[in-house]
Every structure is written in C-alpha cells, then in structure tokens.
Amino acid sequence: MSLVSIESPKHCAKKGLNVHKLSKKLFFAFSAFFTTLLSLILIIWLILRPTKPEFSLKETDIYQLSLSGPNLLNSSIQLTLLSKNPNQKVGIYYDELQVYAAYKGQQITVDSPLPPFYQGHQDSNLLTASLVGAGLPVAPSFNYEVGRDQTAGKLVLNLRVNGRIRWKVGTWVSGRYRINVSCLAVMALGSTLPTGPLRSTQGTACSTAV
C-alpha cells in the first residue's frame, strides 16, 4: 500500500512564502557585506590619499632635426627623466608608458616604449629614452618656425609621456589609471645650427595628470 501526501493550497503558499523570505534575507546579507567592503576600501583610500607621481626633466640632447625632403623630418633625441613617488604608504606600478617629442604642436618622433616597473614608497627612478623619427610628415611652416626660434635664440621642445599606472596599498592593487606627463626642454639656439648636439641640462618640473 502506498502513502500519498496531500498538501492544501494554503500550506503550499506558506512554503513558497518562506523560500521567498529566505531569498530576500540572503540578498540583503550579501548587499550589506559588499557595501561594507566597498566602504572600507573607500575609507582606506581617503585616509591614504595617494598623490600623483612627480616627474622632472634632467637632460635633453638633440642629435638630429632636419628635413630630408619636402615636409619630411628626420629626428634623433635622447632624454633623461626623474620619476618620484611622493607617497609614504602607496606604491605605484607603471604600465604601457610611451614617450615622444613634439615641436609647435607637431609630433616629431615616433612613440618610444619604456619598460614597465614598480616604484616603492617615496622611491625615485631615472628613466632614459631614445626618440627617433625618419621621414615624418610635418607642416610646411616647420622651417619657418625653426628660423623664428633661431632669431629668438632658443628652441623649445615638448616631451610627453603617456601610459597607465596602478596604485598598490599593502596587497591590494587598484585598476589602471591613465597618466599624462608633459615636460618642456628649452635649448639655446644660435643663428647657425651647431655641429654637435643641442643640449639642455637645466632641470625642469613637468606637469602630471592622472
């Protein structure tokens, strides 16, 4: 003989209601957990307040800056940058850094990659890059602009570093943030171009945006 269990519609509804209540409790419990976790991360972030890294241009050498044809530029530039992490409790990972030189708003070298590296608390690193350009198209006014700089007695280059960084606090590492660095190199320039490289050894602070 088999036993058949018959439940009333009221009993089934009550059972379904209990399951619904349990689901709501689990949802609110997980929501409270993640809210607490995010709040804790935010509080730590606000306490530490990571400061963006500082860059300064230490040296710039121009070995070549000449036209090889109508509006086609050949360039060779060597630069040295100093990077500093001013934070006492936050490390910085530098990823995908690219360096290039610009003159009067025109890019005059191709992008040159820098190797990724980690920078500890209040550490400093010297970064060097060799920038080159072969047959890069420039505006027809390029020669005219260089002539004006010769008359003024100085040449101004803009050195740029673009890439991404990550903050490190203890074992926690943030997502990637874009970083843009802009440095100005000012070099003395006479009425005739020198046979040796144009050199700027005057250290200048760079602007950094994160």
Q: pLDDT digits over 15-61, tens only?
A: 555 666 677 777 777 787 878 877 776 666 655 678 999 999 999 99
pTM to 2 decimals?
0.76
Same domain, 174 and 192: yes
Indicate the helix (H) or strand (E) that contains 52: none
Q: How many domains does the chain have?
A: 2
Tell me whether residue 128 is in a domain.
yes
Most confident segment among 9-18, 65-74, 82-91, 146-155: 82-91
Same domain, 59 and 79: yes
Same domain, 113 and 188: yes
Same domain, 24 and 85: no
Same domain, 38 and 125: no
Angle value at C-alpha 84, between 79 and 89, nearest 5 degrees: 160
User: Average pLDDT for residues 105-125, to the nearest whole number?
Assistant: 95
Same domain, 95 and 188: yes
Q: Does the pLDDT value for residue 100 go beyond 90?
A: yes
Q: State percent of the chain over pLDDT 90.
A: 49
Domain with 28 in it: 19-48
- pLDDT for 112: 96
Give the mean pLDDT of the chain: 84
Distances (CA, A) of 144 to 44, 48, 104, 108, 153: 54, 50, 11, 15, 14
Tell me whether residue 11 is in a domain.
no
Higher-confidence position of 78 and 48: 78
Same domain, 110 and 42: no
Task: Give 131-159 pLDDT, tens digit per residue.
Answer: 999 999 999 888 889 889 888 888 899 99
Query: What 3-state class would DSSP assign to 203?
Result: coil
Same domain, 43 and 71: no
Tell me whether residue 13 is in a domain.
no
